[in-house]
Chains A and B, each alone.
Chain A
Amino acid sequence: MKSPSSRRSADDRGFRLGTGFFALLVVLLVAGIFWELYRTSQLSLAKFGFRFWTGKTWDPVSGEFGALPFIWGTLYSSILAMLISTPIALGIAIYLSELSPRRLRTPLAFLTELLAAVPSIVYGLWGVFVLVPIVRKLQVVTPDWLKKVPLFSGPPLGVGMGAAALILAVMVIPFTSSVAREVLKAVPASQREAAYALGATRWEAIRAALRFGRTGIIGAVILGFGRAVGETMAVTMVIGNNPQIKASLFAPQYTMAAVIANEFTEAADDLYLSALIEIGLVLFVITVFINAISRLLIWSVTREVKAQVPKPTATVAFAAPTGGGQ
């Protein structure tokens, strides 16, 4: 008969391996997604090779698949969204962590994070029936000389790049701001106190804190970019879904996520389906890459500081994914 202590250590090992298996599942899930997408996009990968990503024609009827317009649409809309959302999101993070009166802090943080709780489809619905008509009216009153600028050319449709970028910006703000806030929270108070002691103004002290946490702040911005790249429903509903490469904010265009959402169930033949899955594969690789970089940047700030503080305070960032963590 085994001694109680050896049985106990065997039990402990079983517990460790048993729970470890479930932890491993999380890792396997990511590997599994990659493998599955890679496997099912073989047809398209083999037939088109790299040409798939340089071709400008997307014509399922004749079996010609070029995905450049989708790459363009995804990057253009996401970059525009970041240009709008980044200053606002950072302003929110600074206000809530450095400036806000204590009493206002919690309700304001709750409200800004509520932006992340609204489902994409609801933003899309709002976009179609409220935002798009507003953009259309703006287009109608755009003076003629301005319409000659490529950025504002095109017929007044309402749907298009501008509407998509605006809605994306709104959706991305809470992600960037909540992570940036967490990064600022992790910056030791001594950084600001030192600045004040040297006679800094409020902004100069904030700037010292921002500089201390800059890698994490950059990580927060990149995280928002990753969100924008993968956002599907709201964009699908307002961008106009036309695979063309245009600079105009008023031109209907298309994104990678939108083409998958729209055409997946219509893909009648295997090549068509496999081409769509290849777009999904690349979207996966891009977002994994973006998220990996942003997490590493965020961790480099929050973890370093947490090592000095004995007790971590947990917050459930609601509806938004938890930001930094260990």
Chain B
Amino acid sequence: MNRTRRRKAFSGIVVFLCGAAVFLALIPLFFVFGYVIEKGFSSLSWDFFTRMPKPVGEPGGGMANAMVGTVYLIVIAGAFAVPVGVIAGVYLTEYGKKTFGSLVRFTADVLNGVPSIVIGIFAYGLAVLPVKHFSALAGGLALGFMMIPIITRTTEELLNLVPGTLREGALALGATRARAAFSVMVPAALPGIMTGVLVALARIAGETAPLLFTAFNNRYFSTSLVQPISSLPVQIYTYAVSPYEDWHRQAWAGALVLVGFVFVFSVLARVVTRRLERMHRA
């Protein structure tokens, strides 16, 4: 009898500790979000979105060029990473049951864990070292390499949600496998695939390390592929480690914009996936 009570008490303690762990993890979350929102909002202004950075020591100015730069880099990255990732994902759903498919999945997962700074060195070696020049292209390459494994894996997972009977129906009507995949399966999973792309975008939009020595930074407005370009994360970093009060303020504003961006994309992705899952389960 006594022993049972002891076991129950111990069980209760463990259950309590597990709940406490959740609570404990939420403290830094609210702490970080609280600071970013509080400090960010108080520093956010119209100028921040529309003005260029002021020279060192002069207060005011904004991060207009950095925001455009970030969007620009993401477009370059997506331009090659989305097709590669989606098509690789299609391959995995159609033919990926064998050894090669497992190898691709495995390397994609491993690639996902490779530090972004290492991917940055790789892009540096490919696009900066040969021409001795930092460029938007190099930065976009680095970000794109990071997107590929994420898009590949989510595309495959979401294509697997589409009932196989759809494919069989198309094949029975005389469609080739390519046609069945690209005209039937992919459109059916399209909202999900777009979600995968959003998730990948949200993840790389805040990446700083791989841009430090590929896209570098630029005080001026640039949309050239072969020139260095400014980006929101790198600009936040530059300002955060600077000794100027006004720059710190702007770094917080930048962080708020970045977090807002990532948050919106993540929530959007979640909503679309939920709807897709429900649709195919019904």
Stretch of B52-60, B84-92, B218-226 at the chain-chain interface: B84-92
Whole-angstrom CA separation of A158 from B177 in the bound complex = 61
- A88 and B153 contact, Cβ closer than 8 Å, known pairs A15-B178, A33-B119, A318-B199: no
B158 at the interface (CB under 8 A from A): yes
A19 at the interface (CB under 8 A from B): yes
Instruction: Give the contacting residue for B88; candidates A26, A292, A325; CB below 8 A.
Output: A26
In the complex, which residues of chain A have a beta carbon less than 8 angstroms from the beta carbon of B7?
201, 204
Whole-angstrom CA separation of A312 from B280 in the bound complex = 12
Instruction: Report yes or no: A319 in contact with B259, Cβ–Cβ below 8 A.
Output: no
Whole-angstrom CA separation of A94 from B19 in the bound complex = 9
Whole-angstrom CA separation of A260 from B119 in the bound complex = 12
Instruction: Report yes or no: A122 in contact with B255, Cβ–Cβ below 8 A.
Output: yes
Interface centre among B7, B92, B240, by most chain A C-beta atoms within 10 angstroms, is B240
Whole-angstrom CA separation of A237 from B202 in the bound complex = 22
Instruction: Report yes or no: A287 in contact with B114, Cβ–Cβ below 8 A.
Output: yes
Where chain B touches its partner, the secondary structure class is: helix
Instruction: Give the contacting residue for B195; candidates A108, A231, A257, A316; CB below 8 A.
Output: A316
In the complex, which residues of chain B have a beta carbon less than 8 angstroms from the beta carbon of A15?
94, 176-178, 181
Query: What is the CB-to-nearest-CB distance from A257 to chain B, in angstroms, rounded to a whole number?
Result: 5
In the complex, which residues of chain A have a beta carbon less than 8 angstroms from the beta carbon of B259?
118-119, 122
Query: What is the CB-to-nearest-CB distance from B188 to chain A, in angstroms, rounded to a whole number?
Result: 14
- A125 and B252 contact, Cβ closer than 8 Å, known pairs A99-B18, A283-B115: yes
- A325 and B125 contact, Cβ closer than 8 Å, known pairs A11-B178, A319-B262: no
In the complex, which residues of chain B have a beta carbon less than 8 angstroms from the beta carbon of A122?
32, 36, 206, 236, 255, 258-259
A48 at the interface (CB under 8 A from B): no
In the complex, which residues of chain B have a beta carbon less than 8 angstroms from the beta carbon of A119?
205-208, 233, 258-259, 262
- A108 and B22 contact, Cβ closer than 8 Å, known pairs A15-B178, A119-B207, A121-B236: yes
Query: What is the CB-to-nearest-CB distance from A85 to chain B, in angstroms, rounded to a whole number?
Result: 9
Query: What is the CB-to-nearest-CB distance from B84 to chain A, in angstroms, rounded to a whole number?
Result: 5
Instruction: Report yes or no: A29 in contact with B111, Cβ–Cβ below 8 A.
Output: yes
Query: What is the CB-to-nearest-CB distance from B212 to chain A, in angstroms, rounded to a whole number?
Result: 6
B75 at the interface (CB under 8 A from A): no
Whole-angstrom CA separation of A16 from B88 in the bound complex = 11
Instruction: Report yes or no: A201 in contact with B160, Cβ–Cβ below 8 A.
Output: no
In the complex, which residues of chain A have a beta carbon less than 8 angstroms from the beta carbon of B209?
120, 232-233, 257, 261
Stretch of A60-68, A109-117, A245-253 at the chain-chain interface: A109-117
A123 at the interface (CB under 8 A from B): yes
Give 13 new A-B contacts, CB below 8 A, not counting A27-B107, A204-B11, A312-B160.
A15-B181, A20-B95, A26-B108, A30-B110, A119-B258, A122-B236, A125-B236, A202-B11, A203-B15, A227-B113, A230-B116, A264-B124, A314-B161
Q: B: which residues have CB within 8 A of A?
A: 7-8, 10-11, 14-15, 17-22, 24-26, 28-29, 31-32, 35-36, 39, 83-84, 87-88, 90-92, 94-96, 100-101, 103-119, 121-122, 124-126, 129, 145, 148-150, 152-154, 157-158, 160-161, 176-178, 181, 192, 195-196, 199, 202-203, 205-209, 212-213, 216, 233, 236-237, 240-241, 248, 251-252, 255, 258-259, 262-263, 266, 269-270, 273, 277
6 smallest beta-carbon distances between A and B, as pairs: A119-B206, A91-B21, A230-B115, A291-B113, A201-B11, A19-B91
